[in-house]
Amino acid sequence: MDGNASAPGANGAVAAVRRFSRFYTRRIGALDERLLGGPLSLPEARIVYELAQNGEATATRLGAELGMDAGYLSRLLRALQDRGLLDRRPHATDGRQAVISLTEAGRATFAEIDAQAEAEVGAMLAPLPAPARDRLVAAFAEAEALLGGAAPSEPFTLRGPRPGDMGWVVHRQAALYAEEYGFDWRFEALVAEIVAKFVSNFDATGERCWLAERAGAVVGSVFLVRQSAQEAKLRLLYVEPSARGLGIGERLVRECIACARAMGYRRLTLWTNDILHAARRIYQRAGFALIEEERHHSFGQDLVGQYWALDIPGAVGILAGSGPDPSSAA
């Protein structure tokens, strides 16, 4: 028996898929005239999202990525440009093409709808206990794979924080740095202070936290913290020893950089110590440059602190660094 639509049970499967599609599009508001009640339609939001993630693109590439008709895409791009959300400049080598990117207003609009989307999905998932959320995520992944989507290439997932995660991050960082580098209890106080300030002063338009999860367990984290309108700071990167070598640290750093770019930051900085060799290699591969070093005695150890910075590609008017940070490894 082949798998065509006349096979027994096929009609029931079609009906089930269509029923779920109707349910889910209503649930996330995909049928509304404006996405999340904001200023963008769903097709416009797809364009803005693509540009926010990749920095810039040609119309040809956007059409291929989004599967949009060239004429329809052209009308959408013109409307977004008229509203001041897009910028066009001549292509350096192809006079037939223009390079399209988001303006400051476009990046602000993206940050607003991205934060709202994250909050709404979080609210939708919040009533579910953790095991039910895990089953739901696994079901989505299986459905995507069965319908021809790319199978996840990474043996871990990234997610936002849940209740209890912040305390876990403080605990694990304190325990790991004590075990691996001999840091004393004062390092735990520093991490707790950074986490408490992040939670108390959280700004959804300019800050994020990611937890890496593998087999239902948290195995790493990183924070993106606002320093000014143009500068953000990468803080508290760590990966559990049992999960090292899987690319988790690199993925967390890439996520920070991509989000910083989408939010319009022009510089991303961090402060670490020279003994954190694996982390330093990750920063170097991501494009960070060592700006300054200084010796200090902290957490019961003689250390060499390092200030690193990454200028976001394509940005202009980069701010100068803010100088050494006594927060050391944070």
Residues 206-228 have pLDDT tens digits of 999 999 998 788 999 999 999 99
What secondary structure letter does DSSP report for 28?
T
Secondary structure class of 195 (helix, strand, coil): helix
Q: Are 220 and 248 in contact (CB under 8 A)?
A: yes
Q: What is the pLDDT of residue 322?
A: 35
CATH assignment of the domain containing 45: 1.10.10.10
163 plus 226 within the same structural domain: yes
In the predicted structure, residue 195 carries a pLDDT above the cut 90: yes
Residue at which a domain ends, from 105, 124, 143: 124
64 plus 207 within the same structural domain: no
176 plus 119 within the same structural domain: no
DSSP-derived pairing of the beta strands 267-273 and 231-239: parallel
Q: What is the pLDDT of residues 82-102, one digit of tens each?
A: 999 998 888 877 767 788 888
What is the end-to-end Cα distance of the chain in Å, rounded? Answer: 61
Whether 307 is covered by a domain: the verdict is: yes
Tokens for 132?
């039910």
Q: What is the pLDDT of residue 203?
A: 93
Q: Are 101 and 87 in contact (CB under 8 A)?
A: yes
225 plus 278 within the same structural domain: yes
Whether 132 is covered by a domain: the verdict is: no
CATH assignment of the domain containing 264: 3.40.630.30
Whether 327 is covered by a domain: the verdict is: no
pLDDT grade, residue 120 (50/70/90)?
A: confident
Cα separation, 240 vs 218, whole angstroms: 8
164 plus 293 within the same structural domain: yes
Query: Which residues touch 282 (CB under 8 Å, ≥6 apart)?
Result: 237, 249, 250, 253
Cα separation, 320 vs 263, whole angstroms: 19
174 plus 104 within the same structural domain: no
Whether 139 is covered by a domain: the verdict is: no
Cα separation, 319 vs 266, whole angstroms: 8
Whether 147 is covered by a domain: the verdict is: no
198 plus 251 within the same structural domain: yes
Domain that holds residue 156: 152-311
**DSSP letters spanning 68-94:** --HHHHHHHHHHHHHTTSEEEEE-SS-
Whether 221 is covered by a domain: the verdict is: yes
Tell me the C-alpha to C-alpha distance, in Å, between residue 158 and each of 27, 127, 210, 220, 252. 23, 20, 6, 9, 8
Q: Are 102 and 44 in contact (CB under 8 A)?
A: no
Whether 299 is covered by a domain: the verdict is: yes
Among residues of the chain, what percentage have pLDDT more than 70? 84
Which residue carries 């991490």 as its tokens?
Answer: 191
pLDDT grade, residue 154 (50/70/90)?
A: low
Q: What is the pLDDT of residues 300-323, one digit of tens each?
A: 999 999 999 999 864 433 333 333
Tokens for 14?
């079609």
Give the chain's domain count: 2
Of 284, 282, 276, the C-alpha closest to 304 is: 276
* Number of CB atoms found within 10 A of residue 112's CB: 16
Quick check: pTM over 0.85? no
100 plus 212 within the same structural domain: no
Q: What is the pLDDT of residues 229-279, one digit of tens each?
A: 999 999 999 999 988 888 999 999 999 999 999 999 999 999 999 999 999
Residue at which a domain ends, from 107, 124, 141: 124
Of 316, 326, 321, the C-alpha closest to 101 is: 316
Tokens for 118?
């994250």
Q: Are 107 and 52 in contact (CB under 8 A)?
A: yes
101 plus 180 within the same structural domain: no
291 plus 219 within the same structural domain: yes
160 plus 281 within the same structural domain: yes
Q: Are 329 and 270 in contact (CB under 8 A)?
A: no
168 plus 303 within the same structural domain: yes
Tell me the C-alpha to C-alpha distance, in Å, between residue 175 and each of 185, 218, 241, 272. 9, 15, 12, 17
